[in-house]
Amino acid sequence: MPQPKFARESTTVMTEMVLPNDTNTLNNLMGGRLLHFMDIAAAIAAQKHSNRIVVTASVDNVSFAQPIRLGNIVTMQAQVTRSFNSSMEVFIDVWAEDIPAGIRVSTNSAFYTFVAVDQSGRPIEVPAVVPETDDEKDRYKSALRRRQLRLVLAGRMNPADATELREFLMV
Ligand SMILES: CC(C)(COP(=O)(O)OP(=O)(O)OC[C@H]1O[C@@H](n2cnc3c(N)ncnc32)[C@H](O)[C@@H]1OP(=O)(O)O)[C@@H](O)C(=O)NCCC(=O)NCCS
């Protein structure tokens, strides 16, 4: 039986520099490239939590509110918020920094879901998450309704069974 782990034991910080090959014709980081960076950072957090091979099962909505420029430093902090049986929800926060200008802005955040698998690709049980801070506890609690929403949207859960989500939406 996998032992519980504290959320911050599986926190990962990853840093990238935006290079010409990462950008569109306006010299801004391409959205798909950012999602790729985020996927890697979040996968590392999930691997650290589970000590297993993990695969991306889903990505919740990601907004691109402002451009990240060529030459910016992109920092991603990923943390497992909650695990279920074989799946783990990972919260990822992204900042962009223009070092010469001394400007650092928060640009994106997202929830990724990873599933731990064995050597044959079959889902395998992962340790529980023990949240410590108030933020960790809030995300742990709300993870249940986010899981229900993504499973309903993926056609893997009957909306009638999504009790926490329905309670939140008051429907
Ligand atoms: C993710 C995957 C392992 C699930 O396998 P499966 O045979 O459907 O397994 P199950 O139905 O037993 O589900 C396993 C877990 O995945 C979760 N899951 C499956 N689809 C999901 C989705 N769309 N969103 C969130 N979680 C999902 C289930 O809720 C379950 O979680 P739990 O064990 O914590 O309760 C399988 O679909 C897969 O290998 N997908 C491809 C992964 C991949 O290649 N990713 C990169 C894409 S480019």
- Using CA atoms, how far apart are residues 21 and 4, in angstroms rounded to an integer? 41
Residue to mutate (ligand 1; options 87, 146, 150, 151; most atoms within 8 A of CB) = 87
Four-residue CA torsion sign, 104, 108, 43, 22:
negative
**b/e map 127-137, b = 16+ CB within 10 Å:** bebebeeeebe
In a domain, 139, yes or no: no
What is the distance in A from the centroid of ligand 1 to the CA of 45? 17
pLDDT tens digits along 68-112:
999 999 999 999 999 999 999 999 999 999 999 999 999 999 999
Helix (H, G, I), strand (E, B) or coil at 71: coil
Q: In which domain, by residue range, is 88 found? A: 5-132
Number of domains the chain contains: 1
In a domain, 32, yes or no: yes
In a domain, 123, yes or no: yes
In a domain, 167, yes or no: no
The finding on whether 144 has its CB within 6 A of some atom of ligand 1 is no
In a domain, 157, yes or no: no
What is the distance in A from the centroid of ligand 1 to the CA of 14? 25
In a domain, 155, yes or no: no
In a domain, 138, yes or no: no
Judge if pTM exceeds 0.75. Answer: yes
* CATH classification at residue 72: 3.10.129.10
The answer on pLDDT for 41 being more than 90 is yes
Give the pairing of strands 12-17 and 73-83: antiparallel
Protein residue closest via CA to atom 46 of ligand 1: 56
